[in-house]
């Protein structure tokens, strides 16, 4: 079986309606695989770390090392180059290349489009632009070394490898026989649509039609990747945003009672952290503190939930409406 490289956008999956964590799950189902090799980032809060296990897709880890030290070296190099005119010019050139890459991945993008040669050429040009400006090494976070080590660990492995989109063109060269997924006929479906709806509800802005968003959330039954409990928690956030604490609490308590071990692992932490805030805002301080402690006692809770819970323990949460 050949090694198929499936692109990943990391946190940007939360911003792309047609290329989100649900879309990746549907693509894996389309390719008829129930397991994936993990060649993407080490962030424990990565969206696919929720979606894949919830969809019963096994993840094989151990291929990617901890490259946090390379990020530190990159920062040190930037600080050094800032001290010299020529260094600042090199940083500007690198920033232009990174901006070109950002435009590619933040524009409306589908999974099929991400695998298109035109996009991959643009990605590789941006990567080469950074490399030309800052040289291989700390300036690229030791990119060549990292990808070479990943290729060596993979050996002659087959299956589906999930990799960052910006790594994909180089890995196609480093891995003889590696191929892009055959997505002929693939279209995002209900899992992708539900995931896009929830992602949108968790990230409100002033221009949103809150009533329409609530109606959409309330109509859905949910699925394995985006369960009903998450839709309730997301809807509660909208009620909280407009000061409707009573409805927010009802929805969050319903979501909390609906939590199960087979649901996305971030959901418990996010739900309980928000529930603690609502209880605090209603003056139920003792129960709010117990809820915050429950978040911190979870085996896994996303960083944003842990920070909210710790902040709530330190200082009672107060609702401020603009």
pLDDT digits (tens, 9 = 90+) for 238-252: 999 999 999 999 999
- CB 171, CB 163: distance < 8 Å: yes
- CB 309, CB 292: distance < 8 Å: yes
E strands within 170-278?
Answer: none
Q: How confident is the model at residue 322 (pLDDT cuts 50, 70, 90)?
A: low
User: How many whole angstroms separate alpha carbon 60 and alpha carbon 53?
Assistant: 11
Share of the chain above pLDDT 90, in %: 94
| CA-atom Rg of the chain in angstroms | 22
For the record, the structure tokens of 15 come out as: 């911003």
Residue 151 predicted with pLDDT over 70: yes
Residue 207 predicted with pLDDT over 90: no
With a CB cutoff of 8 Å and minimum separation 6, the contacts of 245 are 239, 278, 281, 282, 319
E strands within 95-245?
Answer: 159-164
Collapsing DSSP to helix, strand or coil, 194 comes out as: helix
Least confident of 141-145, 258-262, 318-322: 318-322
Strands 58-60 and 159-164: what pairing? unpaired
Question: Taking the complete model, does pTM exceed 0.75, yes or no?
Answer: yes
Q: What is the mean pLDDT of residues 98-118?
A: 96
Match 């609530």 to its residue by tokens: 214
Residue 119 predicted with pLDDT over 80: yes
Share of the chain above pLDDT 70, in %: 100
């Amino acid at each position: 079986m050949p090694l198929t490289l499936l692109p990943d956008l990391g946190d940007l999956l939360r911003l792309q309606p047609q290329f989100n964590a649900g879309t990746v799950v549907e693509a894996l189902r389309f390719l008829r695989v129930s397991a994936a090799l993990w060649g993407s980032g080490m962030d424990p809060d990565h969206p696919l770390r929720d979606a894949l296990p919830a969809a019963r897709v096994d993840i094989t880890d151990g291929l990617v090392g901890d490259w946090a030290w390379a990020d530190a070296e990159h920062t040190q190099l930037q600080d050094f180059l800032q001290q010299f005119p020529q260094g600042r010019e090199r940083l500007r050139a690198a920033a232009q290349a990174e901006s070109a890459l950002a435009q590619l991945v933040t524009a409306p993008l589908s999974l099929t489009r991400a695998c298109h040669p035109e996009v991959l050429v643009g990605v590789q040009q941006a990567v080469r632009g950074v490399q030309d400006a800052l040289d291989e090494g700390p300036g690229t976070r030791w990119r060549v070394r990292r990808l070479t080590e990943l290729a060596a660990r993979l050996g002659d492995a087959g299956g589906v490898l999930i990799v960052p989109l910006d790594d994909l063109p180089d890995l196609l060269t480093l891995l003889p026989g590696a191929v892009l997924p055959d997505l002929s006929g693939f279209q995002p479906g209900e899992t992708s649509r539900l995931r896009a709806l929830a992602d949108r509800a968790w990230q409100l802005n002033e221009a949103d039609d809150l009533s329409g968003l609530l109606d959409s959330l309330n109509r859905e039954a949910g699925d394995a990747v985006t369960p009903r409990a998450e839709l309730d928690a997301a809807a509660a956030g909208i009620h909280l945003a407009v000061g409707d604490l009573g409805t927010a609490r009802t929805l969050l308590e319903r979501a909390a009672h609906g939590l199960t071990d087979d649901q996305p692992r971030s959901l418990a932490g996010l739900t309980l952290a928000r529930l603690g805030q609502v209880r605090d805002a209603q003056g139920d301080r003792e129960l709010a503190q117990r809820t915050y402690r429950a978040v911190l006692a979870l085996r896994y809770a996303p960083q944003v939930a842990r920070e909210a819970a710790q902040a709530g323990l330190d200082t009672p949460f107060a609702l401020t409406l603009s």
